[in-house]
Chains A and B, each alone.
Chain A
Amino acid sequence: MLASAELRARPRLPLPLVIGSSLLLAILMASLAAPFITAFDFDAMDVTARMKAPDAVHLLGTDEFGRDVLSRTLHGASTSIGLGVAATAFAFAIGVPLGLLGGYMRGRLDDAIMRTVDILVSIPPVMLGLLILASTSPGVWKAALAVGIIYIPILIRLSRSVALSLAQEEFILAARTRGEGLGWILFREILPNALPPLVVETSLRISFAILLGAVFSFLGLGTQPPSSDWGLMIAEARPYLEQAPWIALAPGVALCVTVISINLVGEGLRQFLDVRSQPGA
């Protein structure tokens, strides 16, 4: 109810939100419609057309196996973006309940959660991912999991701080007096109030997660061939940088545009939901 009333009161959507979400939509659509955009399969090799410069047939050229760079880039979109979204969703699903619980319950449970968080953040992010990925055989889901674990502390801290400030509010006391269960209080009373900062943070996390996931793939610890994502494509293109720079540039530019458009969405949401930016959060 409130949400729609506010919408009517503030009909103007922030420009970054509009630009960002339309860009993002375009990228997603292009990735889904890849078979209709390019005539080539993403892993169809053609030895007669190796490392062809971009032309009318292969719009972005071909790679060292004669595979179409455009269809590979479009194919890589779903893996890269999927990894970012999955990692963030995982961090959200673990971090937010723990943060709300700690902030609301306080005491020893909260202490235990926060000490664990302290340990997690005392490891530089990429090292943590390296340790996790080194201990198992590499794979795209494990990379997503590693990125997700790295981001759990951030979401715990954010949702905890909101729960902490709300725990003594009257509507929480009222709910407790009504005899509502813990789950109801956490997710129906506190969570809705924590949503604006969480939505903004989550949207920014997705773009960081896509970047970090690409780093893991680039280092050979994420997506494995013959499947592909942007990080792996760039890694595979490195030996041919001089002869065929387009193999590396296409996924790189795609990655940048995607991250910028998600950041624009995040910035737009921040303005729209009126969340004060938190330095260093």
Chain B
Amino acid sequence: MAGYLTRRLGQIVFTILAMSVVIFGITQVLPGNVAYVIAGQFATPDQIAAIETRLGLNDPMWQQFLRWAGAALQGDLGTSMVMSRPVGPLVAEALGRSAQLAGVSFLLVALIGVVVGVVSGVRAGGWFDRVALVVTWLSVAMPQFFIAIVLVLLFSGHLGWLPATGYTPISGGVLNWLSHLILPVATLVVGLFAHVASLQRASMIETLGASYVRAARAKGLSERKVITRHALRNALIPTVTVLTLDLGILMGGIVVVETVFSYPGLGRLMITAVEQKDLPVLQASVLTVTVIYAFANLIADLCYLALDPRLRTGHAGVR
């Protein structure tokens, strides 16, 4: 177990290192120099040269990389070139807001997905299963930005119940905070729960047909016990995998949803940074997401091990 953890942590360090080189390399070839963005369109060549020197844009690339990576390791992610603010707090603030959005959504996706999947798996072919199937197909086919727009049209435009955009911190009133969170969260949940539900359904049907479930029934256990104690535990294993995959999709979804709802989180920060060619902000936010994603994957694999004792013995080369 300890060996497995060390190996995975080493893998994560390598991934993050490789990614930081990629992130730095790619952002170096961004079109349109940030100096032009700062100086505005009427800047003279002298002004632009001055800004380039101030920001160190003329140094060799490896020097710029070492400077950036060294500072990043010390927690200094640089200064936003456009907003003239330190990137660290900027990203942390946005990350906090995105985490509220992602956390609530992820919990709901897991909960609703598993419950819908289990119920339709246990009563496969019943009316609930059929309705769930249609909803699943629709949800997989609708891009999140379209779901968002339909929800806005319905609940904000037509019914006028919820605000269409913006964010209020929880200190500004729980109801107010919640009202700004409902539509973005609903968009993410509608777009993502279907994956989980359909997989949970399939694996539930499979485990219910397994011999150990028949054995559990034969020894006279109540149906509830058979389902919760014997079938569900095993049927959850593939779901954990798909939840990890969904985490990646969720992070992409957050970019879209934050753009549509003008929610000031990490995704919106990233898109703004792309538009304004604000390199430090883009580098820091993509790196942050990569680190989070790597550790989320590690946690998912550990859950996997906890659910399936067979994988714990010997080398844990699950993948």
**Main SS class of interface, A:** helix
Cβ–Cβ contact A219 & B150, under 8 A:
no
A138 to chain B, nearest CB (A): 9
Stretch at the interface among A45-53, A90-98, A119-127: A119-127
Residue of A nearest to B19 (CB): A123
Are A134 and B290 touching (Cβ within 8 A)?
A: no
B299 at the interface (CB under 8 A from A): no
Look across to chain B and name the residue whose beta carbon is closest to the beta carbon of A116. B18
Interchain CA distance A181-B122 in the complex, whole Å? 52
B57 in the interface (beta carbon within 8 A) = no
* Segment among A186-194, A195-203, A241-249 that sits at the interface with chain B: A241-249
Closest 9 CB pairs of A and B: A126-B252, A259-B141, A124-B251, A252-B146, A124-B248, A134-B274, A135-B26, A260-B141, A122-B15
Which of the residues A133, A219, A260 comes within 8 Å of B256, measured between beta carbons?
A219
Given the complex, which residues of B lie within 8 Å of A215, measured CB to CB? 143-145, 252, 256
Seen from chain B, the residues whose Cβ lies within 8 Å of a Cβ on chain A are: 11, 15, 18-19, 22-23, 26-27, 29-31, 137-138, 140-146, 149-150, 152-153, 157, 199, 202-203, 238, 241-242, 245, 247-249, 251-253, 255-256, 259-260, 270-271, 274-275, 282, 286, 289-290, 293-294, 297
Contacts A124-B248, A234-B146, A255-B146 given; indicate if A245 touches B153 (C-beta within 8 A).
yes
Residue of B nearest to A258 (CB): B141
Q: How large is the interface on A (under 10, 10 to 19, 20 to 34, 35 or more residues)?
A: 35 or more
CB-based nearest B residue for A264? B137
A118 to B319, CA, bound (A): 11
A231 at interface, CB cutoff 8 A: yes
Q: Give chain A nearest CB distance to B10 CB in angstroms.
A: 12
Known: A127-B286, A279-B241, A279-B242. Contact between A219 and B271, CB under 8 A? yes
Contact of A242 among B144, B157, B282 (CB under 8 A): B157
Is A136 an interface position by the 8 A CB rule? yes
Cα–Cα, bound, A255→B138 (Å): 11
* Residue contacts A-B, CB under 8 angstroms, 26 given: A119-B15, A122-B15, A123-B290, A124-B252, A124-B289, A125-B248, A126-B253, A126-B255, A130-B255, A131-B26, A133-B274, A134-B282, A135-B30, A136-B31, A215-B144, A215-B252, A218-B143, A219-B259, A221-B274, A234-B149, A242-B157, A248-B149, A259-B142, A260-B137, A279-B199, A280-B242
B141/A280 in contact, CB under 8 A: no
A residues adjacent to B (C-beta < 8 A): 118-119, 122-127, 130-137, 207, 211, 214-215, 218-221, 231, 234-235, 238, 241-242, 245, 248-249, 252, 255-257, 259-260, 263, 277, 279-280
Question: A124 to chain B: which residues have CB within 8 Å?
Answer: 247-249, 251-252, 289-290, 293
- Which of B140, B152, B247, B256 has the most chain A CB atoms closer than 10 A to its own CB? B140
In the complex, the chain B residue whose C-beta lies closest to that of A131 is B26
How many contacting A-B pairs (Cβ < 8 A)?
133
A277: chain B residues at CB < 8 Å are 202
Residues of A within 8 A of B245 (CB): 280
In the docked arrangement, what's the CA distance between A242 and B164, Å?
Answer: 11
Complex contacts, A211 vs chain B, CB 8 Å: 143
* B27 and A134 within 8 A (CB): yes
Q: How far is the CA of A166 from the CA of B19 in the complex (A)?
A: 34
Bound CA span A249–B26, Å: 36
Are B19 and A122 neighbours in the complex by a CB distance under 8 Å? yes
Q: When the two chains form their complex, are residues B142 and A256 in contact, meaning their CB atoms are under 8 A apart?
A: yes
Specify which chain B residues have a CB less than 8 angstroms from the CB of A137 in the assembled complex: 31
Q: Which residues of chain A are near B294, meaning CB under 8 Å?
A: 122
A134-B27, A279-B199 known; A127 vs B290 contact (CB < 8 Å):
yes
Q: Which residues of B contact A134 (CB under 8 A)?
A: 26-27, 30, 274, 282
CB distance from B274 to the nearest CB of A (A): 4
Contact call B149/A252, Cβ cutoff below 8 A: yes
B234 CB to nearest A CB, Å: 13
Across the interface, do A123 and B293 meet the contact criterion of CB distance under 8 Å?
Answer: yes
- Residues of B contacting A249 in the complex (Cβ-Cβ under 8 angstroms): 150
